[in-house]
Structure 1
Amino acid sequence: MPSQTFTIGELAKEFDLTTRAIRFYEDVGLLTPQRAGLQRIYTSRDRTRLTLTLRAKRLGLKLTEVKEILDMYDSPRDTAVQLQRFLGVLGSHREQLEAQMAELEANIAEVREQEKQARAALARATKPKAR
């Protein structure tokens, strides 16, 4: 039974991407379509790699990290090594997000304090003066 194939247009439509974005993923080595003349022919493997790439991108992973992880699955390495690397990448990314969140929380606290002070100043400024 032949495996299912896709055109660049079909993948672009399915994943709501531009064909240019898909070609970019090819350029960085995430996808490796076959060629029939000038036409690109994507396999189910390419489709799966695109799915995983977009999922990892939503998580905020760098494309180089995504490629490294995906390439591990194509190599004869042990699954434990792949999972350890993946956990390392995820842990590092989580730490980065947590640091950004802490910084945002500190910024929000500062904005709230400034709002409180501005409200107090406004209340004093609009308070009728005693004669």
Structure 2
Amino acid sequence: MAASTYSISDLARELDITTRAIRFYEEQQMLSPERRGQERIYSAKDKVALKLILRGKRIGFSLAECKELIELYDPVHGNHKQLHTFMSKIAERRAQLEQQLLDIQQMQLELDTAEERCLAALAETDKKQVITS
């Protein structure tokens, strides 16, 4: 039974990305298709790598982090190390997001305070204008 292979347009269509994006990931050495003349032939491993890249991007991983995870992929010996690394990166990303959320909440409080002061100053200015007119 032959392994599944894909053309660049097959992968682009199936994963809803552009062929240009796929070529970019290839340039970054995150994919390694075979060549038949000018045609690129992508393997099931390339498809898995692309899915991992896209998932990583959605959750805020850098390309370097995605590349590290892809390089840990080992279908022969299992992906235990890849999964542990992935879990560690998920925990790091979650901590970053929690800190960003706290930062946003603090900024909202500061905006509320600035807005209240501006409104109070405007009300005071309006009151003075009424008195002097």
TM-score for both structures, normalised by structure 2: 0.82
Q: Which amino acid aligns with 2:131?
A: K
Which secondary structure state, in structure 2, belongs to the residue aligned with residue 40 of structure 1? strand
Instruction: Indicate yes or no: 2:59 matched with 1:59.
Output: yes
Aligned pairs (5 A) from 1:1-131: 1-74=1-74, 79-127=79-127, 128-129=130-131
Deviation digits for residues 105-131 of structure 1, max 9, x if unmatched?
211111111111111112222233289
Relative distance call for 1:3 and 1:83 in structure 2 (3 A) is closer
Relative distance call for 1:49 and 1:33 in structure 2 (3 A) is same
Which secondary structure state, in structure 2, belongs to the residue aligned with residue 47 of structure 1? helix
The count of aligned residue pairs is: 131
TM-superposed CA distance for 1:76, in Å, is: 5.5
Deviates more, 1:100-109 or 1:30-39: 100-109
**Identical aligned pairs, as a percentage?**
40
Determine the C-alpha separation between the residues in 2 that align with 1:84 and 1:43: 25
Deviates more, 1:77-86 or 1:56-65: 77-86
Structure 2: which 5+ runs fail to align?
Answer: none
Structure 1: which 5+ runs fail to align?
Answer: none
Q: Which amino acid aligns with 1:98?
A: E
